[in-house]
Amino acid sequence: GADELFCGYPRYKIVHYEKLFLLLSKCIKPFYPLLRQNKLFAKKIDRYFSYFSANSFGVAYSQLLGYFSHDEINTLLKNKTGAQRFEEKIENLLANVKDHPRLKQAMYLDIYGFLSHNFMIADKASMLHSLELRVPLTTKGILQKNFNLESSRLLSFTKTKIQLRNLLYQYVPKKFVDRKKLGFNPPLDHIINDIGEQKILEIFKDSPIKNYLHIPLINTIVHKHFNENENNTYKIWQLLYLHYWIHYNS
């Protein structure tokens, strides 16, 4: 909960400094094809541009979390009602904080979406091993305090989690507090490339996913990953995950 309550995600900077990043997006747009082929930017550049092309903030912010653009989702889906219900749910949540700045709206969406989902996963994982999980940072008092602070006191262009860092500086060496943020992502590039294009296409060939998504478009995503130097690792991973979820629940 530290990232959601103390503004620790890099995407919060895009929201808070939206005008600056919008200007930057216009400057680098001519280099978009090259950036998509660069390992450093390949997995994030689509989300970055999708954010500025969305019609509403709720949809725009969801683009920063997902790997498929709004247009890709609409193209892949055979039935659009689920996506429409999702967008309506996001807008209904944002109605509760419509008078707050964009940064607080993003925090609100994460608290009621991303964070609550992580709580459920963590609870199931810990109970599976007979452990009782504690999340000391996610308290109502901390939430209320940070949500009522000026956005500039939560993060700056160069630093996130300002309030938490200021507290930790008193007790922990600065080099540990300010070290580079690291996620918990598995080595998906290696996993997807090891499975290989032929095997992945075989999985989708007779997959029950065809009842919901257009298989030719999935094949295009796979083909571009293996043959056109386009990194679609996370997209393929999510599609495979969806395939097996439908397979074992149908």
What b-and-e string marks burial along 178-190, b requiring 16 or more CB atoms within 10 Å of the CB? eeeeeeeeeeebe
Tell me what pLDDT residue 186 has.
Answer: 82
pLDDT tops 90 at residue 184: no
Tens digits of residue pLDDT in 7-40:
999 999 999 999 999 999 888 888 877 777 776 6
**Quick count: other Cβ atoms within 10 Å of Cβ 75?**
12
CB 54 within 8 A of CB 60: yes
Helices (H), the chain: 2-6, 11-16, 18-28, 32-37, 45-53, 57-65, 70-76, 81-94, 102-110, 116-128, 140-147, 162-168, 174-177, 188-195, 197-205, 215-227, 233-249
Q: Which of 210, 202, 241 is nearest to 68 (CA)?
A: 241
Q: Which of 48, 10, 8, 47 is nearest to 27 (CA)?
A: 48
Question: Could you give the percent of the chain with pLDDT greater than 70?
Answer: 98
Tens digits of residue pLDDT in 32-57:
777 777 766 766 888 888 888 888 99
Please provide the average confidence, as pLDDT, over all residues in the chain.
90
Q: Who contacts 46 (Cβ-Cβ below 8 Å, separation ≥6)?
A: 36, 67, 69
Question: Could you give the percent of the chain with pLDDT greater than 90?
Answer: 64
CB 188 within 8 A of CB 200: no
How much is the pTM?
Answer: 0.86
Residue 97 vs residue 39, higher pLDDT: 97
| 198-206 average pLDDT score | 95
CA 196 to CA 222: how far, in whole Å? 9
CB 140 within 8 A of CB 146: no
- The tokens for 156 are 């700056």
Q: How many CA atoms lie within 13 A of 64 on its CB side?
A: 19
Angle between helices 102-110 and 81-94 (to 10 degrees): 120
